[in-house]
Structure 1
Amino acid sequence: MKQTKFKSKSRPARFWPTLGFAALAGMRSMSAPALLSHYLSRNPSWLLLNSPLRLLQKPLVASGFRLAAAGEMVMDKLPSTPNRIAPPALVGRLLSGALVGAALYKSREGNTATGAIVGGLGAVVATFVSYALRMGISKQANWPVAAVGVGEDALVLSSGAALLKAQPSHR
């Protein structure tokens, strides 16, 4: 009896990492593109070369996103900053999640539109979940919302670092 070997085309993981970056976008909209751009600038993907998403691989773009992410962490603590679930902020988080999802999927041989949908929807869900957690912790612990926000910043940074560490090298 002859055995037939089936070759399985190994597809790089993209769904779960996209949800991870989307969750970061839901908590801090600029952190997800900053982290992904940082990763892509050090591990460029040839699959992005003929795409507008290739800009995420530029070190200058990565630096710009890092600066924007740092500014967002500061602005988040100001009382005049609108809630993340306010329509303009929510749209920004959706777009951030869609951007990282599209880039991650494209860089891993996936469909850009699918990545954008997964990233965008993941960011919206994470926005509402993280908002509810932040408000709930603040109320239960009787802590200022800004103080809980500092803890959220630490969670974003540590989760982002772990997510980056888990990503494969394209080189």
Structure 2
Amino acid sequence: MTQVLVLVFALLIGVIAGLRAMTAPAAVAWGAFLGWIDVDGKWSEWVAHPITVTVLTILLVGELITDQLPKTPSRKVPPQFLARLVTGGFAGAVIGSAFFHTFSATGAGMIGAVLGTLAGAELRTRVAAARGGNDRPGAFIEDALAVVGGFLVAFLVSVV
């Protein structure tokens, strides 16, 4: 049962990466730092280091700001899409490392990133259409979903 839950959490953190690429690694770093994700003595132990947490938090905040800019490229263009695959896979791997399921959790995180990328783009499109082309409300909704969801997933890992 634990392996299934690990893969579900890895998939969910991947979805978060699809919404906001830097939110997933920042959330798992905070989760590791706070002891929610047990990385002690594992390859991923460095993620819990205060410097790593600080850098990823700065990148997260920067992404939340730049996402509001009108010239920000679509998440579906290759560089943006690839970034989400990488960060989703990485965040999934960190969660998986806590239970010695790094490789399968990496794949689940990447699959989640694809789902989150496509679902997030669709959400923004629909909200923009309903608001006469204004996608800023959709961006704020997505920001909140990503940040709250990312930290919720990281916390729930501690329950397993």
Q: TM-score, normalised by structure 2?
A: 0.89
The answer on 1:61 being equivalent to 2:52 is: yes
Larger RCO (CA under 8 A, 6+ residues apart)? 2
Query: C-alpha separation between the residues in 2 aligned to 1:90 and 1:142?
Result: 26
Q: Which residue of 2 aligns with 1:115?
A: 105
C-alpha change, 1:77 and 1:87, in structure 2 (3 Å) is same
Instruction: Say how many residue pairs are matched.
Output: 157
Query: C-alpha separation between the residues in 2 aligned to 1:17 and 1:101?
Result: 8
The answer on 1:128 being equivalent to 2:118 is: yes
Q: Which residue of 2 aligns with 1:38?
A: 30
The answer on 1:29 being equivalent to 2:21 is: yes
Map Cα deviations across residues 133-161 of structure 1 (whole Å, 9 max, x no partner).
11111102325112310121112222223
Q: Which has the higher helix share?
A: 2
Query: C-alpha separation between the residues in 2 aligned to 1:106 and 1:47?
Result: 10
Query: C-alpha separation between the residues in 1 aligned to 2:151 and 2:40?
Result: 24
Q: TM-score, normalised by structure 1?
A: 0.84
Contact 1:18 1:104 in 2 (8 A): yes
Alpha-carbon RMSD: 1.9
Map Cα deviations across residues 96-151 of structure 1 (whole Å, 9 max, x no partner).
001011111111121x2211111112101210111011111110232511231012
The one-letter amino acid paired with 1:87 is P
Higher Cα Rg: structure 1 or 2? 1
How many percent of aligned residue pairs carry the same amino acid? 24
Structure 1 regions of 5+ residues with no counterpart? Answer: 1-9
Query: C-alpha separation between the residues in 1 aligned to 2:106 and 2:74?
Result: 24
Report the secondary structure of 2:76's partner residue.
coil
Match for 1:154 among 128, 135, 144? 144
Match for 1:76 among 60, 64, 67? 67
Query: C-alpha separation between the residues in 2 aligned to 1:168 and 1:116?
Result: 19
Query: C-alpha separation between the residues in 2 aligned to 1:119 and 1:164?
Result: 13
Query: C-alpha separation between the residues in 1 aligned to 2:147 and 2:92?
Result: 19
Q: Which residue of 2 aligns with 1:164?
A: 154
